[in-house]
Structures are given as structure tokens and as C-alpha cells.
Structure 1
């Protein structure tokens, strides 16, 4: 702990001395949204645009600044928000281009990746705040090591945390010596290397906690994330649970009926390793093997069933993962039954969800799981991993019955898919109806209300301060 505190203290001292050298910058009447990747197409980007819209509605005079590493304009970002997520901004945001985004990319750090990205985010945060220093600095991407910088420069610091950068769960997984996408086989097989990595994680977690304590308000997206952030940051009185915005309004207008002779399962997720697309492919192959052993007179069992993987590719690494997944389909003998739909428009996504029989989401410890809610709102039976957000907040059995399925292994996912196929139309409609009703708890309207309520005190403080400054 002392080592972590010393390292973190040296970094903050350097930032503090830098801020003195540069000078105490004048803060503009604006809110700065730190979101280096404004084209990631995920739930985090939806949060960004809904948050911008909420701020614009609360105070039209408060400028909204977007710090992004993408080559974007105010017009292109506003157009993307509407086209990709159905979010219409009240006015155009201002754009501050970040040229050092590579400092937070994992490929920049082949070793000690989390540490490198954390320190790199401080460089990127300094670049952002030296270009433009707002009264309120809102991080919507989880770069906690930027908070001390913003705080030292006099900003009100707000975070919307989707997922803790480092947690005790990660330490436990390393000590259990389980190989995973973030714990390679070489380390997992070595007791010494596992202990060394656990110590490294522990030091990083303490530093992360110290950075988190610099926020004036921390919004979290799920009960699971809230429990971790409370434990690591130790700021119980400054944490608010604000469920992320899900497009339940548009999706709930879709009919619940589905084509019983042409069934497909849909998976909506960015093509990132933690989304566990490989598990979905194996589960689907398992399902087809079971169906092939059954009654081939059934149109479903005669091969009229598909899996559609829908997602965005952020970079060349993501594109490479798609190539590898297609190769895996060939190895499993299911290449002719799996569709890859990359970077589809919002309208296309709605159409795909509206015809899907069920939706699959297999990420372990998914912090919340916006797409699981979207499945439910669209009438697609959710099949999600039995952990974190889906387990604690979303796919929760109601007094009237189940709203979906939770699974852990390939076999369990395949069994859930089989159960959905074998459901009568009446049973499936009943479950889909219950799921749709629960999805209303996670609407954009609810996010808007909760976000504004959480921000009300800080917005009132800066309005008051701004009026005093104008008067003087």
C-alpha cells in the first residue's frame, strides 16, 4: 500500500507542479465530456450522448465540450448520435481533438498494460484540459487517473463508471491461476508469476482508489459496479446508482410475435475479447448438434436456424478478431449458419432485434448489460451470463414468472437456446411480455431523470458561482 501511495503521490506532485508552471487556467462556463473514442458504438457512447442531451436541457447556456481522439466535427457527432442511437441533441457540441490517444491504447503497452494505460490517460487528460478547462469535467469512459488532474485545475469532477478498471475480483482470478483474455496461460501456469501479477494488481487497485477519491460525484451503472466502487474508492456519500439509458421506447413498439419457421439468435456486442464471442459460437454448434440428433421433420431442425453476430469494429485489432471468429466458424462446421453484421445503422439494428427469437450475451462480469435490456424490450428472450449486472439487476425472476435465462458454460447456453426453441408460442410470448415490462425500468427517460437529479447540486453550485463572477 505504501508503495502505491508513493508512486501515486509522485505522479500527482508532478501534475501539481505542472499546473503551477502552466498557470491556473481560467475555467469556462462549460461541461467537458472526456470520451476519447466517440465512434465505439457501444453502451458507453449512448450514455455520452444522453448525458449531453440532459445537460443541454437543464442549462442551454452551458456549453458542452467533447474531448475526442476521432476526426470529428460538431455536425458529424450530432449526426452520429441521432443516426446510431436515436439521440437528438438540442444544440451542436463543441469538439476538442485529442492527438495523443495512442497513449491509452492497449497495443502501446505489450507489458504492464493497465499501468501504461492508466499513466497514459493522465497525459491525455492533461492534453484535453490544457486545450480547454471547463467548470465541470465529466469522464464517461472510465479513465479515473484523469480525475486528480481535473481536480487540481479547479474543475468539478464527475464520473460515470461502467466498470472498475481494477478490482479484487481480478486479483482473485489471477491468484486462482485461471487463464483468461487478460491473464495469459504462461502466467496462469506459474505460481511465482501469478503472485507477482497479483501484487502488481493490488498496487494498481490502491492507486485507482486514490484517484477515484478526487471525484465530486460518481455515477455508477449497476449494483455490481456500485459495490466495487464503494469498496475501492471509499466515497459512499458521493456515489449514485444511475442505470444506463436503453432504447426501450423504440424497441417496445415492435411486435412480440416471431416467425416460428425461420428462427435466429442474435448477439449484439463490440468485437472485443471480453465479449466471449467464441463461447457463443461453441454453444451454437452444440445446439445444432443436438438438433441434428432430433426430429428432422421439424422445419427448425432441418437447418432453418441461424446465429447473427452484430457489432462494431473500433480498429484493426477488432477486424482481426472478426477474421478469427469466421475461421472458428469454419472449424466448428457452422460457417454457413452464422452471419457477421459489422457497424450496422441504428435502424438496421432495430429491424434485426425485432425479428430475433432470442438474444445472447456471454460476457463474464458484464457491469450492466444494456444490450440485454434491449433484447427484452424488443421481445427477444435474453440468454445472458450468470454474473454481475444481468444477474443482479436485469434478468431477475419476477413474481409472475421468468423473464429470460442465465447461463455460465457452453453447455448451459446451448441448453437455454434449446429451451427457447422448444417453447410453445404462448409460453414464449408470455416470457417476452414479462421481459418487456421489466425493461421499462431502464429507459432513456429514467436515465434522463436520474442523471439530472444526480447532477442538480453541482449544476446549482456552478450557476451560482458563474452569476457572482458575472456580477463582479
Structure 2
């Protein structure tokens, strides 16, 4: 433990000074980077040899080398940019792209982004190698890829995707830092990033979980390695700062009162400044929603402009990929399909505290106990179905407590928990359900909400974040769902959604499906490749120096 504390202190001092005095530590950072490159050189060679061996085995098994297993074809370059020697950089690149995603097997929306990004990269650059830095030691490559296929219906090309296992993931867990959690987890990400670089130094480094400090460490150690961040949720935001005030929302609501509250405010403001400076070091920044983009711009853009002399439009929205096309083909939305739907409310979300399952249970209890009249469903009682992945023992405990709450609210028989559902199970429920629910305040995007819409569900979502700004918006001047904040408002939203006239119900389902058409897998892949090409061009240019 003493060694790790010393390392943590050294890394903290290194990053802080690097942010404020980058020239002073450029030489030191370069020396550390040189050491890490040398120490991981053998593993790089072994990895590339393994890729070649697996590719030959794969080709032999398939008995065809010119055609991918899913009929893949390369996506054409969107820029036509050329490498130094005149060859198309985006066409011929065969380097190693490192994806920093320590919880890659969690099975949530963030993981769907990771796998869709790797799939798009594989299709576009079939000779490139995608390496995922993960802390999921309990599963091997075959098990991870099987879960990706079962959970997301995403098929990856096994020979060119590999996993490097981190041993220090516990340093980014909130439980490791009961005090100063924001700073502690950020420092923990530095230890985790150092762990990753000691295993392998990639040609391009991409963070897909929100560890901006890890990306800054890559920039310090390896100036020639282009970096990117796909930001799902800002580590700190202006909304978080405001939530400390009396009447605020979220898990820190109202904690800014008194002497300790004042200190917490100062700490958060100082951390926000450090976070903003760290964000200025990243080459390519993508956000998953307009809400996230707005907060990242407000924090990072001034520093990025001063540091790089660029305008704020370089922080681009790349909406997450959602299986819209598949849902449209698998789930019917028509007059005849209405007979297959019941008064079922579906909440697809990981069992994490911020998803606020408790609020939805309380709202559903209020709705049921009001004995609503549902003419469209005369023979069926309302049911709430909670679908989500269980990542660890904390999540399992959380599910247990939610079951107890359902019992205390006297709705136990009307609530069903579906843990770690497969994609076919989710499809089956989306065919049967009528309403989709989201309870998180300031949900950064809301992939599950888009899935609701693509399946024709009428959404009742929190009046904040991505579901409010990007997803559950008017189409053709008419609503696609309802917004709520309190348990009473949610209960009223459930009542409205389940008591619409038959014609309006179907019309709203169709508007919802039309709205979901903005968030396809293809749309994500196109924008992802656009930004990956920027990274490839940077890598080729820097390597040529």
C-alpha cells in the first residue's frame, strides 16, 4: 500500500505541474514514456504475432479470406485524406488503437458505444488492431465477445480485437475513496492508466469511459500518440455545482450548506478548474448528447481555445449507437400489434444508484394504488418490469433492497425484475410493453429511451438531460412522450400514457419511432470514422517526424 500511495503522490504532482507548467515536465514525461515503450516492446511484438496467427486460423476455419464472417465491407473514407507517401491514411492504417474501458463487460449503454466503435474501426481499417484495457479478470476474450453478441447483437472480428487486463481497477471505485471521491477517482485513473501503458503503448489512445486524467497522462508520456475522449458524462458539471445549493437535485442535493458545505463548494470549484485544464490536452473530443456537449464546452472550450488556438466547435456530438434498424424490423408498430401489448411499464437501466429505481417504484405504487381506469386494457393489471445488468455484489445488494421496497409498497406482485437479460428477452418485453420509463436526473443521453421509441413505446422520462433535450422531443409538432420529475408527476405520466385514445396511442408510437431514426448504428459509425480519420492522420504525421 505504501508503494501505491507514493506512486499516487508522484503522479498527482506530475499531472498538476504538467497542466500548469507543461514545458517544465516535458523532458521528464518523455523519459517515462521512453521507458514504458521499451518495457512493453516485447509484448507488442507478441501481440502482433498472435493477431497474425489468429487471423490465419480464422481464415482457414472460414475457408475464405476475402470475405468477413458477417459479410462486412469496408466503409469508404469520408475525407479522402492521404498519408505522407501519398497512400490513403484512412485506407491502409494498420496500427494499434487502445481503448481505455476498465469495465468493458458491464453490459450498459457505455459499453455498447465501445463495441460499436470497435466494430466500425474494424470494418474501416481491417488490418488495424483494437486493444481494450479492462479490469474484468473473471472473463476471457471468448466470454466477453459472446456477451457482446448476446447483449447487443454486435459481431466483432475476433483476430483483431484483444484484451489487456489491469490489476489496479479498484483505484477508480468510489468505495476506495470515501472522502474527496472526485479527486480520488481521478487520481486512481492515473494509476490505472500507468498500469495500461506498462502493458502496451498504443499508436492511438482512446478513452471511452470518461477518465480525462488518464488521457492527459498519455499526452504527457507520449506526445506523438494522438488521443481522443468519448465523454458520456462530465466528471463535474455546472449542474453538479448548483446541486449543492438548497433545493438542488441529485445524490448531492443540498450538501453545500454550512461550514463543511462551503469547503465542499470550494473543493468542487477547484477540481472543476483542474478538470477543465486536463480536458484541453485531448486531441479529439466527442460527447454523446447536446446536454453533455454544453457542459464540456462550458468547462473545456476556453482552455482548449487558449492552448490549441481552436474554436469550440471541435467538441462534437456523436450520438450513441442504438439498434434502431433491428428494433424496427423486430418489433411491429401497427393496429394489429396493439392487441399484443399490455399495460406494462418497462425500465431498462443498470442497477446503479443514479438510475433512481426507488423513485420509479414509488411512482408506480402511487399509480397502482389510485386504481386507474384503463379502458384499453380491461382484463390486465399494470405491471412494472425492471431490466438491468448486475455488475457486482453492490448491484446485487441494490436489487435485493429494491425487491424489499416493492414488498413494503405492496406492489411486489406487480413488479418483475429481469437481471442480465439477453437481447431476445429484451425484444420480447418491448413487443409486449406499452410504456418506457427513465428515472435518472440529468441522464447524459439515454440509449434505453431511444430503444423505447424505436420499439414504439410511449416514454415517461425525467424532465432533464438527454431524454428531455435530444430524445423525447416533439415530432411534427406533437409529443412523443411525457416528462416528469417527482413521483406524483411520474404517476400522472403513467396514467396519461395508458389512457390515451386508441388512435392517439398508435399515432404517438409512430412519432416516437420516427424520432428514433436519428440515432442509428449507421449514423454513429459514420461520425465515429470521421473522427478516427483525424486521429489516424495525426498518428501518421507525427510518426513521420
**TM-score (ref. length: structure 1):** 0.91
Displacement over 6 Å in runs of 4+: 11-16
8 Å Cα contact 1:34-1:67 kept in structure 2: yes
Q: Distance in 2 between matches of 1:42 and 1:285?
A: 27
Equivalent in the alignment of 2:358: 278
User: Structure 2 residue aligned with 1:226, among 293, 299, 302?
Assistant: 293
Equivalent in the alignment of 1:401: 478
Aligned pairs (5 A) from 1:54-203: 54-71=120-137, 72-92=139-159, 93-152=161-220, 153-154=222-223, 155-176=225-246, 178=248, 180-182=250-252, 187=255, 190-203=257-270
Over 3 Å counting, the alpha-carbon distance change for 1:203 and 1:337 in structure 2 is same
Equivalent position SS for 1:175: coil
Equivalent in the alignment of 1:247: 323
Equivalent in the alignment of 2:517: 440
1:105-164 CA distance string (max 9 Å, x none): 111111111111110000001110121011110100001110121112232110100110
Equivalent position SS for 1:310: strand
- The range that moved more, 261-270 or 376-385, is 261-270
Q: Distance in 1 between matches of 2:356 and 2:378?
A: 26
Over 3 Å counting, the alpha-carbon distance change for 1:15 and 1:313 in structure 2 is farther
8 Å Cα contact 1:56-1:91 kept in structure 2: no
- CA drift at 1:316: 1.1
Over 3 Å counting, the alpha-carbon distance change for 1:179 and 1:418 in structure 2 is closer
Equivalent in the alignment of 1:20: 31
Q: Distance in 1 between matches of 2:488 and 2:320?
A: 31
Q: Distance in 2 between matches of 1:237 and 1:400?
A: 29
**TM-score (ref. length: structure 2):** 0.79
Equivalent in the alignment of 2:281: 214
Equivalent position SS for 1:349: helix
8 Å Cα contact 1:402-1:431 kept in structure 2: yes
Q: Distance in 2 between matches of 1:16 and 1:321?
A: 48
Kindly tell me the number of residue pairs found equivalent between the two proteins.
458
- CA drift at 1:90: 3.0
Equivalent position SS for 2:461: strand
Over 3 Å counting, the alpha-carbon distance change for 1:329 and 1:14 in structure 2 is farther
Equivalent position SS for 2:370: helix
- Where does the alignment leave 5 or more consecutive residues of structure 2 unmatched? 1-11, 45-94, 305-311
- CA drift at 1:23: 2.6
Over 3 Å counting, the alpha-carbon distance change for 1:117 and 1:285 in structure 2 is same
- CA drift at 1:324: 1.1
Over 3 Å counting, the alpha-carbon distance change for 1:31 and 1:419 in structure 2 is same
8 Å Cα contact 1:47-1:244 kept in structure 2: yes
- CA drift at 1:179: 7.1
User: Structure 2 residue aligned with 1:430, among 507, 521, 530?
Assistant: 507
Over 3 Å counting, the alpha-carbon distance change for 1:260 and 1:80 in structure 2 is closer
Over 3 Å counting, the alpha-carbon distance change for 1:16 and 1:421 in structure 2 is farther
Q: Distance in 2 between matches of 1:246 and 1:82?
A: 14
Q: Distance in 1 between matches of 2:492 and 2:32?
A: 63
Over 3 Å counting, the alpha-carbon distance change for 1:380 and 1:141 in structure 2 is same
Q: Distance in 2 between matches of 1:276 and 1:375?
A: 18
- Where does the alignment leave 5 or more consecutive residues of structure 1 unmatched? none
- CA drift at 1:80: 2.0
Over 3 Å counting, the alpha-carbon distance change for 1:413 and 1:179 in structure 2 is closer
8 Å Cα contact 1:310-1:340 kept in structure 2: yes
Equivalent in the alignment of 2:83: none
Equivalent in the alignment of 2:407: 330
Q: Distance in 2 between matches of 1:388 and 1:180?
A: 12
Equivalent in the alignment of 2:109: 43
